[in-house]
Amino acid sequence: MSEGRGQATSVEPPADDDDVPRYWRDLGLPGLVDVHVHFLPPRVQAKVWQYFADGEKHYGVPWPLAYAVPDEERLATLDRLGVRAFPTLPYPHKAGMAAWLNDWSAEFAESHPGVLKSATFYPEPEAPFYVAEALDRGVRIFKVQVQVGSFDPRNPLLDPVWARLEETGTPVVIHCGSGPLAGEHTGPEPVTGLLERYPRLQLVIAHLGMPEYRDFLDLAERYERVHLDTTMLATDFTERLMPFDPADRPRLSDLRAKVLLGSDFPSIPHAYAHQLAALHRLELGEEWLRAVLWENGARLFGLEVP
């Protein structure tokens, strides 16, 4: 058996959401850090959920939403699950929207503990200004959505933004793979070009770049600060549509310090516990799970153990 694979663990995967705290406790963790959670202004959230409700039309399969409930209930769910830190990851689908999303997100983070202040940007002349403002007010993480925003991350309007973020090292969760939906600018090429110009960017590749996992594993191996988030990786839904090749598991094991738990809560077609069980069944061992579910995120965001 190759390195890091098939490692024995006596810890049982979580059976359901109620069982999640037992799971991280058995692993010896103080909770979870989830780098891919969304909280959006109510009107925007409603539109996103409407899109998923038409899942059959957009994805060819239904996308039942397990957590389409008001903000306060979702915050209580994360608290019960033991998610100690999480962002809100706003993203615009057009110009003129990002600054407003950033204001809303800053206010949300200031009024709720455990929330990592989040912001976004779009290729528009104002971007360097509202990104600077976001950094001034203590934003910990940015989100970029190449498919929904339908832009090339190498757009020259974003040059000053990337230059600044390379300097600050602020993590940027970037949805850039072609799954579950391909876009004009998705796939490894634009991000590869971006990293050639800004090799020190602290990028977090959302969904591990699905379905182009292999190309994004290459980037994480090549660039010191490129991370990968696990959002929907190895879940039943993804394994049906965009399976992860078991032959690449040793690479995932070797990248242990750069893989971060992500879930896409609340817009997921399964229980939160299923994401954890899906990572568990990759059989990469308890050390790997501890790094991914807590340690890497805690380090990236400078969290104190509660």
Per CB under 5 A, residues contacting Zn ion are 264
SS3 (DSSP) at 173: strand
Considering beta carbons, is residue 27 or 268 the nearer one to Zn ion? 268
Taking the complex as a whole, how short is the minimal distance between the CB of residue 4 and Zn ion, in angstroms? 28
Environment class of 227 (CB within 10 Å of its CB; exposed 0-12, middle 13-18, buried 19+)? buried
- Taking each helix axis from N to C end, the angle separating 213-222 and 188-197, rounded to the nearest 10 degrees, works out to 10
Starting at the earlier edge strand, list the strands of the sheet with 259-260: 118-120, 141-145, 172-175, 203-205, 227-229, 259-260
Nearer residue to Zn ion within complex by CB, 186 or 253: 186
Nearer to Zn ion, 27 or 40 (CB): 40
215 and 188 Cβ atoms separated by less than 8 Å: yes
Q: How far apart are CA 3 and CA 197, in angstroms?
A: 34
Retrieve residue 131's tokens. Answer: 């990104």
Give the integer Cα–Cα distance in Å for 242 and 59.
Answer: 12
- Smallest gap from residue 17 Cβ to Zn ion (A): 19
Are the C-beta atoms of 191 and 211 separated by less than 8 Å?
A: no
Q: Which two tokens stand for residue 36?
A: 């891919």
**How many residues in total does the chain contain?**
306
Please say which residue, 212 or 264, places its beta carbon nearer to Zn ion. 264
Cβ nearer to Zn ion, comparing 166 with 264: 264
Residue closest to Zn ion (Cβ): 264
Residue 176 or 292: which CB sits closer to Zn ion? 176
Nearer to Zn ion, 4 or 262 (CB): 262
Residue 180 C-beta: closest distance to Zn ion, Å: 11
Closest CA to 29 of 37, 21, 39: 21
Task: Give the C-alpha separation, 146 to 150, whole Å.
Answer: 5
Residue 40 or 106: the one with the smaller Cβ distance to Zn ion is 40
Nearest approach in angstroms of CB 303 to Zn ion is 21
Q: Min. distance of Cβ 272 from Zn ion in angstroms? A: 14
What is the crossing angle of helices 127-136 and 159-168, to 10°? 20
**Minimum distance of Zn ion from residue 302's CB (angstroms):** 23
DSSP-assigned states of every residue in 204-261: EEGGGGTT-HHHHHHHHHHSTT-EEE-TTTT-HHHHHHSPPPGGGHHHHHHTGGGEE-
Give me the least distance between CB of 238 and Zn ion, in Å please: 13
Q: What's the closest the beta carbon of residue 264 comes to Zn ion, in angstroms?
A: 4
